[in-house]
C-alpha cells in the first residue's frame, strides 16, 4: 500500500443502486480486481446517510481499497453544497475507521425527472457543482482518487 499499510487482498465497492445492480449482474461469480477479491455492498435508493449507517456492519480496515458510488439520490432532495458536505463527512468516516484508500465515483447525470425531484436541468447543475467541488478537493488530498467517467 502506498501509505504503508498492509494489503489484505480485498476491495469493497460501496454505494447506491448502481452497485446493487452490478452486484446482481456479477452474482455467482468470484470477482477479482488486480488479484484482489471484490466485495459489493449496494443499497438501492441509498443516500450518503444510508451508506454511513451501513458502515458499522463492515470491517473497513480489512479492505485495501474502497470505491464509493454515492450522491445521485441525495441530489434529488438536497442542494449540491449539502451533498458535498455529506460526501466529505463519509470519506472522513471511512478514513478514520481504517480505510487505507478511498476512491470516489463521479456523480452521474440523469435524463429524466424523478418524482418530486428537481428538473433535469437543475439536477444537472447540481451534479456539475458536486463533481467540480469534489474533484478540486481530491486534488489536494493524497489518499483519495476521483474516478471520472468520460461521457459526463
For residue 23, give the CATH number of its domain.
Answer: 3.40.50.1110
pLDDT number for residue 151 = 36
In a domain, 3, yes or no: no
In a domain, 62, yes or no: yes
Give the 3-state secondary structure of residue 21: helix
The proportion of the chain whose per-residue pLDDT surpasses 70, expressed as a percent, equals 84
In a domain, 4, yes or no: no
- pTM listed for this prediction: 0.81
Residue 52 parent element (H or E) = helix 48-54
Confidence label for 101 from pLDDT (cuts 50, 70 and 90): confident
**Domains of the chain: total:** 1
Tell me the residue range of the domain where 113 lies. Answer: 10-147
Give the residue, 86 or 98, on which the prediction is more confident: 86
Query: Span 18-28, mean pLDDT?
Result: 87
Amino acid at each position: 500500500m502506498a501509505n504503508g499499510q498492509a494489503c489484505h487482498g480485498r476491495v469493497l465497492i460501496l454505494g447506491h443502486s448502481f452497485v446493487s445492480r452490478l452486484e446482481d449482474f456479477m452474482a455467482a461469480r468470484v470477482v477479482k480486481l488486480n488479484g484482489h477479491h471484490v466485495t459489493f455492498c449496494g443499497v438501492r435508493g441509498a443516500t450518503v446517510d444510508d451508506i454511513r449507517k451501513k458502515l458499522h456492519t463492515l470491517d473497513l480496515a480489512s479492505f485495501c481499497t474502497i470505491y464509493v458510488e454515492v450522491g445521485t439520490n441525495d441530489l434529488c432532495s438536497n442542494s449540491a453544497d449539502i451533498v458535498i458536505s455529506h460526501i466529505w463527512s463519509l470519506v472522513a468516516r471511512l478514513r478514520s475507521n481504517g480505510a487505507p484508500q478511498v476512491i470516489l465515483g463521479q456523480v452521474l447525470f440523469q435524463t429524466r425527472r424523478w418524482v418530486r425531484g428537481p428538473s433535469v436541468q437543475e439536477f444537472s447543475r447540481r451534479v456539475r457543482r458536486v463533481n467540480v467541488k469534489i474533484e478540486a478537493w481530491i486534488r489536494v488530498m493524497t489518499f483519495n482518487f476521483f474516478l471520472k467517467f468520460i461521457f459526463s
